[in-house]
Structure 1
Amino acid sequence: MSAYDADAIIVGGGLVGVATAIAVAKAGLKTIHLAPTGAPDRRTSALMMPSVDYLIAAGLIDDPADIGHPLTQIRIIDATGRLIRAPEALFDAQEAGLSAFGWNFANARLLERFHSVAATLDGLETRNMGATAFAAGDVGGTLTLADGSTLSAPLIIGADGKSSLVRSAAGFPIHEHQFEQAALVCDLDLGRPIGGTSIEFHYPDGPFTLVPAGDARANLVWIDERATLEAARSSGPEALAKLFAEKSQRLFGSIQLVTPTHVFPLSTLSVSKPGRQGVVLVGEAAHAFPPIGAQGLNLGLRDVADLAGALQGVDRTQRDWADKASESYASLRAGDLARTGTMVDALFRSLLADMLPAQGLRAGGLWALRLLPALRKQAFTIGMGNR
C-alpha cells in the first residue's frame, strides 16, 4: 500500500491553481487541491485566443461570450511628449484572420466557472485550507497544513503565487527585480464606449490602458511611479475622474469610477527551471511580470497545458514517474518562458527609456509594425502566445 495520500497535491487557490487541479485530475491522477478562500479578485484578465481555445478544449468554459468581452483592436498612442515619438498605431484582429485577438474576462467570473467544473471531478478533492510548511523528499514531498496535519505525494505543484512556499522550501533559486513603478487598477464608465478596442496611452513612466469590459465600461490599468499613483488615489473619486479624462486625452467624454482603486507594486520574477524531483511550479510561482502585453494568466495557462502534456506522456507504472514528469514539464516550458520573459522585460523597459537611441528604436519599431504587414503578422503571433 502506498504511503502517499494522493498522486498529486496542488497548493494555491487562484485561477492557475484551480485550472491545474482540473488538468491533473483529468489526467487520471488522484488529486488533492489545497485552496484556501481568499479575498474577492476584482481584477480582469485579457486572454489571447490560444488561451481561450485552451479553456474551451479543456472544458473550463463553453462560449467566451457568456462571461467575457472580445478584444478586436489594439490602439497605441504615444503621449510621452519626447523628442522622438512613435506614430499612433492601430492593430485589427481581422488582419490576422481572427474575429478577435482575445477576450477580457472578470477574474471572479472565471474562478466561479472553474470551481463549478472542479466540483464535477471524482478524482479531485478540494480543501479550504493552506499549507504552512513543505519538506521536499527525493521525489515530491510532505506538506504541513494549517491545522497541523500533513499530506504527502510524489508530485507537488506550487501554484501559490510570487511568495510561493513550495518554491522557497524546495530551494528553487529565483531572479527578481523590483521596479519603482506600480499599477493602479479600477473599472470606469465612459461617456463614449470604446467598443472592442484596447487603448494604450504611453506616458514616460508607463502606459495608461483602457480595456473593453462591455457596454460603456472599461478596465483601467495605469502604470506609473508608486508615489504618483498613491497621490492620485488619495485625491478622491472626483479629482481622479478628471485626471483620468486628461490622461485619456478627453477622447471618451465624461468618466466615472465604478469600483475602488487598487495599487499593486510591480516586479519581475523567474526561475531558471520550473520543475525537478517531482516538484513543479506554475503561474506566478514560476514567473511574474508587469501587466504589459497581456502575458500573465496567458503564460500560466500555457504552464497548465504543458503540465497536462507531460503527465499524458509519462508511464505512471514506473516508480520514478513523478520525477520524469517534472523534468519533462521543465523541458516543455523552457523555450516559452525564456521568449516571453525577454519580450515583456524589453517592452516594459523600452516604455520607460529616456535615452534618445532607445526612443528612436521604439518609434522606429512602431513605424515598421505599422508599414510592414509581414512584421505585423509576426508580432501578432508572438504577442498572442502562438506556439
Structure 2
Amino acid sequence: MEATVNRGTQTQTQTQTETDIAVVGGGPVGGLMACTLARAGYTVRLFERGPAPDPEHPREDTRGYALAAGSVTLLDDLGYWAELATTAAPIRRIVVSRRGGLGRVRMDAAQMGREALGQVVPAAALDPLLARARDAAGVASHHATTLAGVEAAEDGARRLHLEGPDGAWSCRARLLIAADGVGSPTREALGIPVQRHRYDADALVFDVRPSRAHDGEAFERFTDEGPLALLPQADGRMNVVWVAPPEVCDARLELDEPARMAALQERFGWALGRLHPAGDVLRFPLQRMHAPQPFAERALLLGNAAHSVHPVAGQGLNLALRDVADLLGVLREGAQPDGRPAFVADPGGRHVLEAWARRREGDIRRIVGVTDFLARGMRHVDGLLGHALGLGMMTVDRVPPLRDAFARGAMGLRPVPRHTLSRLPEARA
C-alpha cells in the first residue's frame, strides 16, 4: 500500500508501511521527539493532521514559547539553540508579587551568575527549525493525516490505521508515541485513563507593547481572580496570560481595546508604563489533566497528551521537554566504539516504557502539585494567612539561599541525560 510522504517542499511516494517508531502530533514536543529518535538511529514516521509547512509562505504566528534555563540547555546540547538564540528574548529577572498584599520575590539571573533565567522563543522560529531538523534526521513526515484507529499490539508492534491525502492506509510500529495534545485522539484510541479537574478559570492570551522597555523582566502577579503573567518578547512586546473566572473573561472580551487595557493596567500596575494593545486576544479553558500510567503495551503518552497543567509559572512545555530528554536517556544502553551512545534495539519493550514512567513520575507529580497549589491556593489568601504568606515571600526575597533555591526550581535545572543528548549524530547514517 502506498503512502504520500512530505519532506520539506518535496513529495514522494513510498510503499514502506513499517517503522520502528510512529509519532502522532507534530507540535514542538512531537517534532523534537521525532528528530532526536531518528538521530539515535531509529526509523521514525511522524503523523500530523495539519498541512505541510510552506517555507515560501510561512503563516503569521506571534506566539512565544517560554523556555526555562534547563530547556535551553537541552536544546543547546542537541545543537538547536544557536539558531534560536538570534530571535529569543532572555528572561533576566522574574518578579513574583501579590495584588493588594505584602511580599514580593525578585529573582535576578546576574545574582546567580547566569546570563538568563530562561528565554522566550518565537513560535515562528522554533517550529520551522524543528521541521528542518526532522528532514535532516530522516523523519518521514506525513501531513494532513489523521489516526483512524489503533490495533492491539501483536507480534511486537501496533498497527495504525490512517487517513491522508491519498486515502486510507496502515502502518506497523514497534512503538507508538502520542504527542497530539490534551484532547489526544490517540490516547482515547489506546484507552489510557486520565484524571481531570476543570479549573473555574480561563486564560486570555494576547500581546501588549509597554511604553517602557521591559529589559528582560518577567512578571507573575497573583490576584483574587487568578495569576496574571507578562513575559518579555524579542521585539519589545510583552505576552500577557490573564487568568480569571469564565464569566469575567466573557465580560472582558466584550470590552473594546481601550477599556480592556484600562482593566489590565488596573490589575497589573505601572511597572512598565502604559500598556498598548499589540495583537488579537485568544481564550483557553484551563484544566489539570494527568495520566497516572502514561503508557500501554507498545505505546506511550508525551507532553500534554500525558499531563496538562495550569499555565501559572509557565511549566507545561518545559515539563514536556523533559519527557523527551528522559526517553532518550532510558533508551540508551551503552556506548559505541567511537564513544557515541548506543540505543536498545527494541524501543517499545515493556521494560523501556516502565523505566521511562518511573523516571518521569516524581517530576510530573511535583509540577502538577505546585501549579495546582499556585492556581487555587493563592486566589483567596487574606487575614492572618495572607499576612503570613507575605512575610514568607519577603523572607525568601531577602535570604539568598532561599531565593536561589526558588529560582533554580523555576529554571528547571534538574539532571537530564546531557551526555546522551550532546553525543547524538546529526542524522542517521
Provide structure 2 residue ranges, at least 5 long, that are not aligned to the other structure.
1-15, 52-58, 334-341, 415-429
Query: Are 1:127 and 2:142 matched, yes or no?
Result: yes
**Could you tell me whether the CA contact under 8 Å between 1:350 and 1:362 is conserved in 2?**
no
Counterpart code for 2:159: T
SS in 1 for 2:219: strand
Counterpart CA distance in 1 for 2:150 and 2:348 is 21
1:13-69 Cα shifts (integer Å, max 9, x gaps): 111010111111111111000022269764322111110011111123325431210
Query: Greater shift after overlay, 343-352 or 281-290?
Result: 343-352
Counterpart CA distance in 1 for 2:200 and 2:353 is 35
Q: Tell me how far 1:156 sits from its aligned partner.
A: 0.3
Q: Tell me how far 1:273 sits from its aligned partner.
A: 2.3
- Normalised by the size of structure 1, how large is the TM-score? 0.91
- Normalised by the size of structure 2, how large is the TM-score? 0.83
Q: Counterpart of 1:14?
A: 27
Task: Indicate which of 223, 228, 237 corresponds to 2:257.
Answer: 237
Counterpart CA distance in 2 for 1:344 and 1:231 is 26
SS in 1 for 2:151: strand
Counterpart CA distance in 1 for 2:345 and 2:264 is 59
Task: Indicate which of 22, 38, 47 corresponds to 1:25.
Answer: 38
SS in 2 for 1:16: helix
Counterpart code for 2:376: R
Task: Indicate which of 208, 233, 250 corresponds to 2:228.
Answer: 208
SS in 1 for 2:378: helix
Task: Indicate which of 379, 385, 390 corresponds to 1:363.
Answer: 390
Counterpart CA distance in 2 for 1:158 and 1:274 is 10
Q: Counterpart of 2:352?
A: 325
Query: Greater shift after overlay, 345-354 or 331-340?
Result: 345-354
Counterpart CA distance in 1 for 2:367 and 2:292 is 13
Q: Tell me how far 1:110 sits from its aligned partner.
A: 0.9
Q: 1:40 to 1:8 in 2, by over 3 A?
A: farther
**Could you tell me whether the CA contact under 8 Å between 1:276 and 1:327 is conserved in 2?**
no
Q: Tell me how far 1:246 sits from its aligned partner.
A: 2.2
Counterpart CA distance in 2 for 1:17 and 1:40 is 21
Counterpart CA distance in 2 for 1:10 and 1:362 is 44
**Could you tell me whether the CA contact under 8 Å between 1:180 and 1:226 is conserved in 2?**
yes
Counterpart CA distance in 2 for 1:149 and 1:171 is 22
Query: Are 1:141 and 2:141 matched, yes or no?
Result: no
Task: Indicate which of 115, 118, 121 corresponds to 2:131.
Answer: 115
**Could you tell me whether the CA contact under 8 Å between 2:103 and 2:389 is conserved in 1?**
no
SS in 2 for 1:100: coil
Counterpart CA distance in 2 for 1:151 and 1:281 is 19
1:302-324 Cα shifts (integer Å, max 9, x gaps): 00101111222386446x85323
Counterpart CA distance in 1 for 2:365 and 2:271 is 38
* RMSD between aligned residues: 2.2
Q: Tell me how far 1:338 sits from its aligned partner.
A: 1.4
Q: Tell me how far 1:240 sits from its aligned partner.
A: 1.7
Counterpart code for 1:378: A
Q: Counterpart of 2:409?
A: 382
Provide structure 1 residue ranges, at least 5 long, that are not aligned to the other structure.
none
Q: Where do residues 1-387 of structure 1 align in structure 2 (5 Å cutoff)?
A: 5-37=18-50, 42-79=62-99, 81=100, 85-122=101-138, 124-128=139-143, 129-138=145-154, 140-146=157-163, 147-313=167-333, 316-317=344-345, 322-354=349-381, 356=383, 358-387=385-414
Paired residue total:
379
**Could you tell me whether the CA contact under 8 Å between 1:13 and 1:35 is conserved in 2?**
yes
SS in 2 for 1:369: helix
Q: Tell me how far 1:184 sits from its aligned partner.
A: 0.5
1:78-105 Cα shifts (integer Å, max 9, x gaps): 21x3xxx231332111222211001011
